[in-house]
A and B are shown apart, each in its own frame.
Chain A
Amino acid sequence: GESVGLHLPTLSVQEGDNSIINCAYSNSASDYFIWYKQESGKGPQFIIDIRSNMDKRQGQRVTVLLNKTVKHLSLQIAATQPGDSAVYFCAEPLLGKLIFGQGTELSVKP
């Protein structure tokens, strides 16, 4: 079965607000996670990744937090913009292939 999953299927935020997308995983031995963004009609696009020896990693307007104690990771998007509207997936490489969760659809209200 899947080893990663998401708490909420949809998230609606106001433009300019911060967004937080959550993901839970079940395998305590998991050591690497990736966040992808998928816009309508396109393939998943790499956003940011994190290894288990880190608790936090920052990119441009995005931050990923990893809590190994409760096996949870989150993607934070600062100052959410209309162009951030998409489906976001967390994914975990397993024996060379990516295992994806169901996804969270982010809608940004102007």
Chain B
Amino acid sequence: EPEVTQTPSHQVTQMGQEVILRCVPISNHLYFYWYRQILGQKVEFLVSFYNNEISEKSEIFDDQFSVERPDGSNFTLKIRSTKLEDSAMYFCASSEALGNEQFFGPGTRLTVL
């Protein structure tokens, strides 16, 4: 069964460093998403992406965040200058169409020291 994959599973970085989290959405899906879950808290929407542009973003998704689909399969989230409070599990998701099921990857645990 097709699934969303994410790499790395765990990333440790120093405050102020840039990180890139990578995702491979399900191949025939058109909508891509990033969410995050701070330990013990709710899953929070960050951004959605369709047709090579951002469809929607939350107030969390500020100028330090960016997303890109560099080729036909990868979808990345870049955090330019990490802060301690960026430590969280970051989930990528994809859906076939707007309003359809969103399937999530296993997540990347980001630890900022």
Asked if chains A and B come from one complex, the reply is: no
Interface residues, chain A, CB within 8 Å of chain B?
A: none
